[in-house]
Chains A and B, each alone.
Chain A
Amino acid sequence: MLEDRLVKKILIAVDDTKGSKNVLSVFHNFVHQPAKVILLHVARLEGRSIMIDMLGEAELSTLKEMLSGTDHKAAVDKRADQILAFYSKELALDGLSTLKTVRRDGVPSEEILKVAEEEGAEMIILGQSGKRGFDRFITGKVAQYVENNAKVPVLVAKRPLMCEEPYTKRDAYAAVSVTTAIMLALFLLGIILQSGLHIH
Chain B
Amino acid sequence: MKKVLIAVDETEGSKSVLSVFHNMVRPPETVVLVHVQRLEGKSMMIDMLGEAEMSTLRESLRGTEHKEALDRQSQKILSYYKKEIDNGGLVSVKSVVRDGVPSEEIMKVAQEEGVDLIITGCGGKTVMQRLVSGCVSSDLERKAPVPVLVAKEACEEKHAWGVAPIGAKI
List the interface of chain A (C-beta within 8 A of B): 6-7, 22, 26, 29-32, 122-123, 128, 141, 143-144, 147-148, 150-158, 161
Contact = CB atoms under 8 A, between A and B. Distances in A.
B99 interface: no
A154 B116 contact: no
Contacts of B151: 153
B40 to A, nearest CB: 24
B141 interface: yes
21 contacts: A6-B23, A7-B23, A22-B147, A29-B26, A30-B1, A30-B116, A31-B26, A122-B24, A128-B141, A144-B134, A144-B142, A147-B137, A147-B138, A151-B152, A152-B152, A153-B16, A153-B20, A153-B150, A155-B147, A155-B148, A158-B144
A6 B20 CA distance: 11
By size class, the interface of chain B is 20 to 34
A91 to B, nearest CB: 16
B117 interface: yes
Given A7-B23, A144-B138, A148-B138, A29 B1 contact: yes
A161 B117 contact: no
B146 interface: yes
A115 B138 CA distance: 22
